[in-house]
Structure 1
């Protein structure tokens, strides 16, 4: 099935197959029926990247099959993409083809949009961007009414801003997020909202403090903060930490601190293996961590981090790779049992699925 054009009639069938597969995969750890969160069947993806196919003095959006990078599929629609992306694609392409300056050596276009309607377009080139390009790009920006960002080797030219502002309504409250171009954000906005709602519901009967590893821009951290006395979150990316600090202020959260550390470094700090200057203003002994939230990269938790989180009464583990989550569960199930199990269809019509488990101490 071409990912730019999908048959929505098959959506429920493909979701059922994923659920059946994951139910069987998780059977050694739980017999709970999974809580399933479906995606909208179309227009669910808030980010998109297109290669730009240059031929005969014209440029078109193109996609490639994996491993076949010399055989482009020229596309004129992207039904998995947000409606905002689809609305911007035709006028952007027309404007680029009318300007040799904008078209020449353009090899990639990226769209970043939000559920609340904000958008940012990044044009990426195999040439330096000069004042002439900037003048043309500013005219394009004005005609589209959308910020344009230019990139080339060792060059980033921001004409207005390099971020979008998302607004998510969750449990009767609207949360605001600054999402910076090039940094990680959840690609499926409806599933992101569902994951946050589910995570909050897992903490309704909780007390004590929250520790979060891999917090990104505060996507989960900020809505969860009101469920706890204090929250300490860690993230290694400087861009994400800076965005998270702005998001904390924008949402008026006062019981949350973020420190720039990797999960491995935090494990060393909490074990007092070595001190970190970035923690000099934090008294780790003052926290009473009752819950730890992890949403790690695809590699899952390393052995030391896995052992560290196993100390806490409750582990909320959201995973973009159920295979590595299952590997971690082999260790975590020695001390914890699965109290809740969720499946999030982040990427419909693909083999990819995200999963969540709430683990409680045995």
Structure 2
């Protein structure tokens, strides 16, 4: 799935809001250069909020006596930089950072051998805080952590090697608005979620727009927790989605239920296995209740990891009339397009600034099959 966390590239959380527009313009120019050989239309550019756009963050902890600091590392010098605020982080993260750490440091059971704190927040103000330790945790830790939950109105998780202690739950519920409609998503601690909620809303809106008017059924590879699946289910008769992660499949099923999505079938399998199933090369028990022949599979959405599509998946994708490709790596996208544009034409191109102040580019491409020439 797309948009792997890029927090390390944020230069210790520094922002330069006055430079944001020029930095984004540089990304647009770079994308146009990378895509030039494919003669795409001008990219649609979706800007981020210049500050407080990240819904999640993780910080290493540096101890000095009975005190501690959040630290990040400068990408150029590897210099350790202490943080009291994180301008790219959500307002909720910034509200919690210092008061929470001060409360942790007041209690030796909470402070001892703590090496990292992670925050997962939502646009509606929910927050989940994970405390990571180089020691095993016990009931005494739970008793010490419980007042933090009450004081700050957050869920607390303690993690150590092969150990995870919950005070209540390990998830939050995010709300995203797309074309005036609200979608609710279960987001689990330590699982992938899109970090920039505002840009995620724009990506979902774009994907919904480019598939409006598509007929038949949708195949979605790498569907994750159903982020795109829920919204795009409105545009298709049925959706057949695949995802290899068991926890992501579980979250997706919760999200389908929360959003009253009833026309999606999800199968826990890889793109390679799905190709084998379509080609009738293998039978899978996971598809025993799915009649693949009954689907009118005309559109495919792919949202692959940074490595992009392997050759077998490229060949699978080329079988569809319409391709929607969401990419977190423009270099592997460029490589995949060398193959995909042999059979398909780029109709629309989009740049989503998921990670401002970094070189990261999130890209969307709509491709349609070229007419067959005699």
For Structure 1 versus Structure 2, the TM-score category normalised by the shorter chain is over 0.9
Q: Which residue is equivalent to 2:339?
A: 331
1:357 to 358, 365, 368: 365
- Corresponding residue to 1:65 among 51, 74, 77: 74
Instruction: After TM superposition, give the deviation of residue 192 of structure 1 in Å.
Output: 0.4
Distance in 1, matches of 2:269 and 2:260, equals: 23
Listed as ranges, the matches of 1:65-214 within 5 Å are: 65-66=74-75, 71-214=79-222
Unpaired segments ≥5 residues, structure 1: none
Q: Distance in 2 between matches of 1:3 and 1:142?
A: 30
Is the Cα contact below 8 Å between 1:95 and 1:140 reproduced in 2?
A: yes
Contact 1:53 1:72 in 2 (8 A): no
**Cα distance in 2 between the residues matched to 1:123 and 1:259:** 33
Q: CA deviation at 1:272?
A: 1.4
**Residues 1:33 and 2:39 aligned together:** no
Q: How far is the alpha carbon of 1:31 from its aligned partner?
A: 3.7
- Inter-partner Cα distance in structure 1 for 2:175 and 2:12: 27
1:271 matched residue in structure 2: 279
Residues 1:253 and 2:253 aligned together: no
Task: Give the deviation of 1:148 after TM superposition.
Answer: 0.2
The alpha carbon displacement at 1:58 in A equals 1.3
Q: Do the aligned residues in 2 keep the contact of 1:44 with 1:188 (CA within 8 Å)?
A: yes
1:46 corresponds in structure 2 to 55
* CA distance in structure 2 between the partners assigned to 1:271 and 1:65 by the alignment: 49
1:316 pairs with one of 303, 321, 324: 324
Indicate conservation of the 8 Å contact 1:237/1:260, yes or no. yes
Displacement of 1:267:
1.1
- Select the structure with the greater relative contact order (CA < 8 A; seq sep ≥ 6): 2
The answer for the alignment partner of 2:296 in structure 1 is 288
User: CA RMSD for the aligned pairs?
Assistant: 1.1
1:242 Cα offset (Å): 0.3
| d(CA) in 2 for partners of 1:282, 1:68 | 54
Aligned partner of residue 110 in structure 2, secondary structure: helix
Is the CA contact (8 Å cut-off) linking 1:3 and 1:80 kept in structure 2?
no
- TM-score by length of structure 2 reads 0.95
SS of equivalent residue, structure 1 residue 53: strand
User: Is the contact between residue 208 and residue 288 of structure 1 (CA under 8 Å) also seen in structure 2?
Assistant: yes
Distance 1:94 1:142 in 2: 15
Runs of 4 or more consecutive aligned structure 1 residues displaced over 6 Å after TM superposition: none
Cα distance in 2 between the residues matched to 1:235 and 1:164: 21
Aligned position for 2:31:
22
* Cα deviation 1:101-142 (Å, max 9, x = unaligned): 111000000000111221100000001111111100111111
Gaps of at least 5 residues in structure 2 are 1-9
CA contact (8 A) 1:128 1:155 kept: yes
Asked if structure 1 preserves the Cα contact closer than 8 Å seen for 2:90 and 2:121, the reply is yes
Contact 1:106–1:125 (Cα < 8 Å) also in 2: yes
Q: State TM-score, norm by structure 1.
A: 0.98
Separation in 1, partners of 2:26, 2:224: 31
Aligned pair count reads: 361
Q: For residue 89 of structure 1, report the CA deviation from its aligned partner.
A: 0.5
Is structure 2 residue 14 aligned with structure 1 residue 5?
A: yes
Alignment check: 8 A CA contact 1:5 1:77 kept: no
Give the conservation status (yes or no) of the 8 Å contact 2:11–2:75: no
Q: Which secondary structure state, in structure 2, belongs to the residue aligned with residue 27 of structure 1?
A: helix
What secondary structure is seen at the aligned counterpart in 2 of 1:63? strand
Q: Is the 8 A contact 2:12 2:81 kept in 1?
A: no
